[in-house]
C-alpha cells in the first residue's frame, strides 16, 4: 500500500501535494462505497439509505428541526420534509412542538424508530463481523490501526485538524 506521510502543521498541504494522494483517495472511496453497499444488502430494514440515515441522526442527536436535520444530512429542506413525512407515516418519528418557538416543530424518534435503528445497526455489525472473519491477522491489525484516521475523516469539518 502506498503511504502518505504527514508532518508538521502543513499536514493538509503534504497530502494535497503527494502524487499518490489521488490514488489513495480514489481507492478509499471505492472501498468504502462497496463496503457500505454490501452492508446495506444484508440489512433487513425496508427504509432507503436517506431515511435510515435521517432516522439514525434523529435517534442519536435527539429532536431536531427539519431544516437542521437537512443540514446535518446534507440535503435540501424539501427533500428532508419528504423523508420525515415518510418516517412519520411509518411510525418511526413524530413531530412535536418546539419549546423554544411555538411556531416550529421538532422531529423526535418514536420507540419504533429507535428499534429500527438498533436492528439495522445490529444487522450491519453482524454482517461486518462476518466479513472481517475472512481477513488475515495482519489485515485485522491494519484495520484496527486505521480506525483513528477513518474516524477523523468522519468528524465534522469544524473538528477536523
| 61-93 pLDDT per residue, tens | 989 999 999 999 999 999 999 999 999 999 999
Instruction: Kindly state the cell numbers that stand for 33.
Output: 462505497
Whole-structure pTM value: 0.72
pLDDT band at 146 (very low <50, low <70, confident <90, very high): very high
Task: Report all structural domains of the chain as residue ranges with CATH numbers, in order of start.
Answer: 21-43+116-154 (no CATH), 49-111 (1.10.10.10)
- Tell me: the pLDDT tens digits for 18-49? 768 899 999 999 999 999 888 877 677 788 88
* The three-state (H, E, C) secondary structure of 35-68, written as one string: HHHHHHHCCCCCCCHHHHHHHHHHHHHCCECHHH
Amino acid at each position: 500500500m502506498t503511504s502518505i506521510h504527514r508532518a508538521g502543521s502543513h499536514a493538509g498541504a503534504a497530502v494535497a501535494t503527494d502524487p499518490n494522494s489521488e490514488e489513495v483517495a480514489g481507492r478509499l472511496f471505492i472501498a468504502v462505497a462497496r463496503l457500505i453497499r454490501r452492508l446495506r444488502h444484508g440489512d433487513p430494514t425496508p427504509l432507503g439509505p436517506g431515511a435510515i440515515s435521517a432516522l439514525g441522526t434523529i435517534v442519536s442527536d435527539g429532536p431536531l428541526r427539519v431544516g437542521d436535520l437537512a443540514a446535518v444530512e446534507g440535503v435540501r429542506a424539501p427533500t428532508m420534509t419528504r423523508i420525515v413525512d415518510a418516517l412519520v407515516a411509518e411510525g418511526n418519528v413524530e413531530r412535536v412542538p418546539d419549546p423554544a418557538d411555538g411556531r416550529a416543530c421538532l422531529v423526535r424518534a418514536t420507540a419504533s424508530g429507535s428499534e429500527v435503528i438498533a436492528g439495522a445497526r445490529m444487522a450491519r455489525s453482524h454482517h461486518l463481523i462476518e466479513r472481517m472473519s475472512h481477513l488475515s491477522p495482519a489485515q485485522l491489525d491494519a484495520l484496527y490501526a486505521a480506525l483513528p484516521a477513518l474516524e477523523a475523516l468522519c468528524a465534522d469539518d469544524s473538528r477536523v485538524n
